């Protein structure tokens, strides 16, 4: 595989002005598929969530899922779109094994939602408006696994295995208008935009919005033009960039690659690019050609969807608090400072902290764990914090163990490492690693008796009111328990034993 | 005559993965042109006040409630497959043919 030349990002920015565009596919979390009553469930045994409609058998008829329509309208409304009074589905014809019907049922010239916008907040608080061209409904394709070859990628595969469980899962594709004026903040904007869309659909409850499961998938279009020129350059479309970090990296890489191509005097080829997370580069997919002649025509087996204004208003009334307003409320509820809150938002752990608080932690404990322990580890592991493998329940369990004096903060950090290393639950790791603070009063009392007996003069001083002398006894107990005692509890017990109130 | 020539038919045949001989292409180009012309007469009959339609019956909003119905087992799903492996359909590796 040849590697492409790239310019440094700074040099690319000096010479060229990037124009972006995004197609974000959102998988809806309806119970059933878009056109069939087969279950829409992730992770089941292959080819068990299918029926005759999903497999494209002859003579079958699709029937539209009403909930999917309502979810799509909600997405449209949340993106400040107009909702079409009437719209249709079409057939997009192509041959590929992930599409058993040999066409995808998709909206084409009549999307259900159009002409919207989304205000996206960048890391420093700057708000950038992204115009939404359309949000249309379609169905997902089956999942291909490429077998043989060296890499498991499509290149060099010997054959492919197809699971149609995902075929027919409802999708909403959100398409932006060309995004101009982002300049050197283009990669950051790309990440922020996809994060904002993910946040909206999650907040609406219409999608599970897990990028690692492909619930939200992004195709990123990038083109460059010399500064001051109005006409757009030729774009590339990087497919299936499936994490927020990858979106940022892919846009940055494509800007650098385009800049090198343009500098060499060659034209950029309009093509699909494949993103490779391991090398953080893209490689050429297929060139756009007449293979993209999809011969759309209106789906004859489906009738138009008419969204009455009453229905749209009913749905609008059910919309939850928009994320920007939610953030304002959470900040007030949690009592974080501006800086603390912005750090939390930028670290991408707002949902995680909210879940952790809901699971029983205080706002300050939740922040301490996510910002102090987990975000840093995620950075090292180079993944989004939410994908590191720590959930709210684990954080709550850890903090409870600390609060109960079972483990101290240092031990808790080691237990977290154990959780991430897959050693089991915090409880199990404490056991296995022998990390527990000795808090069973029995052994402590024995050690205290021994320490008091060893230093009777100190014991007398404490009895006489010189409580500060207690350090020597506590030290003796800590030594006897090899540091595994909870010093605070030891102190309490000593005072109790000697009948002294501190 | 409608503008459907032999190259159009060859292009469509390729997109549809249909192998056609030179004779078939010639014949089909002529026949398709006649068919398209015939269909076109509909637009002569319909005035500007008649909107285009994709369905013969004026129905809208035929919906299904979001309730899980029947599914196949993997064995049933794969029963007509030319080849399968690990409960999945086995297909030749395909690149750049989408």
Contact between A114 and A133 under an 8 Å Cβ cutoff? The reply is: yes
Structural domain boundaries of chain A?
9-316, 323-433, 441-498
Q: What is the rounded distance in angstroms from the CA atom of residue A292 to the CA atom of residue A300? A: 22
Tell me, what's the pLDDT at A438?
Answer: 60
Task: Give me the mean pLDDT over the A362-381 stretch.
Answer: 92
A44 φ, ψ (degrees, to nearest 5): -80, 170
Which residue intervals of A16-112 are DSSP H helices?
A: 66-78
Cβ within 8 Å of residue A253, ≥6 positions away: A6, A280, A281, A282
Are B54 and A299 an interchain contact pair (Cβ–Cβ within 8 Å)?
A: yes
Q: 2.60.40.10, 1.10.10.10, 1.10.10.410, 3.30.1330.60: which CATH number matches A441-498?
A: 1.10.10.410
User: In a 3-state reduction of DSSP, which class is residue A282?
Assistant: strand
Are A32 and B17 an interchain contact pair (Cβ–Cβ within 8 Å)?
A: no
Contact between B38 and B69 under an 8 Å Cβ cutoff? The reply is: no
Q: What is the rounded distance in angstroms from the CA atom of residue A466 to the CA atom of residue A502? A: 10
Q: Which of A61-65, A110-114, A151-155, A458-462 has the lowest mean pLDDT?
A: A151-155
Q: At residue A502, does pLDDT exceed 80?
A: no
Contact between A240 and A273 under an 8 Å Cβ cutoff? The reply is: no
Q: What is the rounded distance in angstroms from the CA atom of residue B74 to the CA atom of residue A279? A: 37
CA distance A191 to chain B (A): 29
Are A95 and B62 an interchain contact pair (Cβ–Cβ within 8 Å)?
A: no
Q: What is the rounded distance in angstroms from the CA atom of residue B2 to the CA atom of residue B13? A: 18
Q: How confident is the model at residue B86 (pLDDT cuts 50, 70, 90)?
A: very high
Task: Give me the mean pLDDT over the B67-96 stretch.
Answer: 91
B37 φ, ψ (degrees, to nearest 5): -60, -40
Cβ within 8 Å of residue A42, ≥6 positions away: A208, A213
Contact between B97 and A64 under an 8 Å Cβ cutoff? The reply is: no
Q: What is the value of ipTM here, to two decimals?
A: 0.89
Q: At residue A148, does pLDDT exceed 90?
A: no
Task: Give me the mean pLDDT over the B9-29 stretch.
Answer: 92
Are B15 and A32 an interchain contact pair (Cβ–Cβ within 8 Å)?
A: no
Give residue-wise pLDDT tens across range A286-325: 655 445 789 999 999 999 999 999 999 999 999 999 888 8
Contact between A89 and A61 under an 8 Å Cβ cutoff? The reply is: no
Cβ within 8 Å of residue A104, ≥6 positions away: A91, A92, A94, A138, A139, A141
Which residue intervals of A208-362 are DSSP H helices?
A: 244-263, 309-317, 323-334, 338-346, 350-358
Residues A314-338: b if buried by 16+ CB within 10 A, e if exposed: ebeeeeeeebeeebeebbeebebee
Q: What is the rounded distance in angstroms from the CA atom of residue A105 to the CA atom of residue A57? A: 14
Which residue intervals of A205-278 are DSSP H helices?
A: 244-263
Cβ within 8 Å of residue A329, ≥6 positions away: A321
**Where do we find the tokens 């990669």?**
A187
Going by the DSSP 8-state scheme, the letter that residue A39 receives in this structure is B
Q: At residue A485, does pLDDT exceed 90?
A: no
* Residue among A420, A28, A385, A365 nearest A195 (CA): A385
Tell me, what's the pLDDT at A404?
Answer: 82
As to burial, measured by CB atoms within 10 angstroms (0-12 exposed, 13-18 middle, 19+ buried), residue A68 is: buried
Residue A51 with chain B: CB contacts under 8 Å: 69-72
Q: Count CB atoms within 10 A of the CB of residue A480.
A: 18
Tell me, what's the pLDDT at A4?
Answer: 87
- Please give, one letter per residue, the 3-state secondary structure of A465-482: CCHHHHHHHHHHHHHHCC
* Residue among A222, A303, A313 nearest A270 (CA): A222
Q: At residue A493, does pLDDT exceed 90?
A: no
User: In a 3-state reduction of DSSP, which class is residue A238?
Assistant: strand
Q: At residue A1, does pLDDT exceed 50?
A: no
Cβ within 8 Å of residue A44, ≥6 positions away: A165
Q: At residue A30, does pLDDT exceed 90?
A: yes
Tell me, what's the pLDDT at B7?
Answer: 92
Are B97 and A157 an interchain contact pair (Cβ–Cβ within 8 Å)?
A: no
Contact between A255 and A221 under an 8 Å Cβ cutoff? The reply is: no
Architecture of domain B1-44: Orthogonal Bundle (1.10)
Q: What is the rounded distance in angstroms from the CA atom of residue A186 to the CA atom of residue A207? A: 26
Tell me, what's the pLDDT at B97?
Answer: 41
Tell me, what's the pLDDT at B98?
Answer: 37
Are A300 and B54 an interchain contact pair (Cβ–Cβ within 8 Å)?
A: yes
Residue A306 with chain B: CB contacts under 8 Å: 60-61
Going by the DSSP 8-state scheme, the letter that residue A468 receives in this structure is G
CA distance A117 to chain B (A): 27
Residue count of chain B, please give it: 98
| Closest chain B residue by Cα to residue A50 | B71
**Where do we find the tokens 């029963």?**
B79
Q: What is the rounded distance in angstroms from the CA atom of residue A198 to the CA atom of residue A217? A: 10
Q: At residue A207, does pLDDT exceed 60?
A: yes
Give the best residue of B63, B79, B84, B87 to mutate against chain A (max A CB count within 10 A): B63
Tell me, what's the pLDDT at B18?
Answer: 92
Residue A96 with chain B: CB contacts under 8 Å: 94, 97-98
Give residue-wise pLDDT tens across range B58-70: 899 999 999 999 9
* Residue among A24, A29, A221, A208 nearest A118 (CA): A24
Q: Which of A251-265, A336-350, A458-472 has the lowest mean pLDDT?
A: A458-472
Residues A99-125: b if buried by 16+ CB within 10 A, e if exposed: bbbebbbbbbebbbbbebebebbbeee
Q: Which two tokens stand for residue A336?
A: 């974080």
Contact between A363 and A337 under an 8 Å Cβ cutoff? The reply is: no
Are B67 and A160 an interchain contact pair (Cβ–Cβ within 8 Å)?
A: no
Tell me, what's the pLDDT at A489?
Answer: 80
Q: At residue A468, does pLDDT exceed 50?
A: yes
Residue-wise DSSP of A357-408: HHTT--HHHHHHHIIIIIHHHHHHHTS-GGGSS--HHHHHHHHHHHHTTSS-
Q: What is the rounded distance in angstroms from the CA atom of residue A335 to the CA atom of residue B25? A: 75
User: In a 3-state reduction of DSSP, which class is residue A246?
Assistant: helix
Q: Is A125 left (phi over 0), alpha (psi -120 to 50) or beta?
A: left
Closest CB to A47: pick one of B63, B70, B74: B74
Going by the DSSP 8-state scheme, the letter that residue A248 receives in this structure is H
Residues B81-95: b if buried by 16+ CB within 10 A, e if exposed: eeebeebbbbbebbe
């Amino acid at each position: 595989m040849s590697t492409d030349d790239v310019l440094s990002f700074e040099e690319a920015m000096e010479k060229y002005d990037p124009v972006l565009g995004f197609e974000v596919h959102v998988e809806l979390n309806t119970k059933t598929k878009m056109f069939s009553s087969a279950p829409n469930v992730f992770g089941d045994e292959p080819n068990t969530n299918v029926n005759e409609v999903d497999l494209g058998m002859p003579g079958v008829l699709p029937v539209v899922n009403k909930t999917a329509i309502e979810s799509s309208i909600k997405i449209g409304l949340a993106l400040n779109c107009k909702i079409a009074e009437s719209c249709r589905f079409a057939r997009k014809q192509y041959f590929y094994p992930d599409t058993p019907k040999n066409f995808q049922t998709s909206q084409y010239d009549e999307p259900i939602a159009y002409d919207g916008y989304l205000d996206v907040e960048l890391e420093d608080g700057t708000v950038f408006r992204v115009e939404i061209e359309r949000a249309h409904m379609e169905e997902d394709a089956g999942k291909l696994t490429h077998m043989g070859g060296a890499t498991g990628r499509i290149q060099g595969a010997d054959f492919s295995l197809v699971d149609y469980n995902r075929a027919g899962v409802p999708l909403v594709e959100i398409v932006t208008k060309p995004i101009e004026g982002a300049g050197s903040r283009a990669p950051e904007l790309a990440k922020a935009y996809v994060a904002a869309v993910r946040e909206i659909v999650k907040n609406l409850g219409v999608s599970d919005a897990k990028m690692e499961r492909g619930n939200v998938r992004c195709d990123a279009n990038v083109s460059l033009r010399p500064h001051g020129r109005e006409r757009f350059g030729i774009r590339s479309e990087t497919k299936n960039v499936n994490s927020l970090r990858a979106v940022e990296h892919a846009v940055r890489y494509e800007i650098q690659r385009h800049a090198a191509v343009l500098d060499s005097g060659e034209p950029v080829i309009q093509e699909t690019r494949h993103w490779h997370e391991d090398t953080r580069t893209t490689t050429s997919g297929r060139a756009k050609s007449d293979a993209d002649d999809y011969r759309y025509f209106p789906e004859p087996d489906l009738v138009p969807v008419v969204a009455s204004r009453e229905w749209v208003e009913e749905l609008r009334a059910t919309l939850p608090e928009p994320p920007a307003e939610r953030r304002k409320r959470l900040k007030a509820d949690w009592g974080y400072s501006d800086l603390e809150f912005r750090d939390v938002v930028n670290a991408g752990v707002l949902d995680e902290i909210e879940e952790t608080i809901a699971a029983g932690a205080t706002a300050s404990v939740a922040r301490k764990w996510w910002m102090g322990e987990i975000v840093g580890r995620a950075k090292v592991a180079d993944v989004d914090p939410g994908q590191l493998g720590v959930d709210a329940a684990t954080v709550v369990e850890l903090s409870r163990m600390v609060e109960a004096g079972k483990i101290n903060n240092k031990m808790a950090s080691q237990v977290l490492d154990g959780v991430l290393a897959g050693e089991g639950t915090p409880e199990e790791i404490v056991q296995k690693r022998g990390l527990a603070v000795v808090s069973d009063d029995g052994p402590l009392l024995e050690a205290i008796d021994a320490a008091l007996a060893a230093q009777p003069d100190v014991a007398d001083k404490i009895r006489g009111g010189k409580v500060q002398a207690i350090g020597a006894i506590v030290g003796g107990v800590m030594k006897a328990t090899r540091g595994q005692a909870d010093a605070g509890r030891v102190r309490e017990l000593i005072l109790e034993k000697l009948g002294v109130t501190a | 005559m409608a503008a459907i020539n032999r190259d159009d038919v060859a292009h469509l045949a390729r997109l549809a993965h249909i192998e056609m001989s030179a004779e078939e292409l010639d014949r089909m180009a002529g026949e398709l042109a006649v068919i398209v012309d015939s269909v076109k007469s509909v637009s002569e009959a319909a005035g500007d006040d008649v909107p285009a339609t994709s369905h013969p019956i004026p129905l809208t909003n035929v919906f299904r409630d979001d309730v899980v119905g029947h599914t196949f087992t993997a064995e049933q799903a794969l029963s007509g497959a030319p080849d399968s492996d690990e409960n999945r359909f086995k297909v030749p590796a395909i690149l750049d043919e989408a």
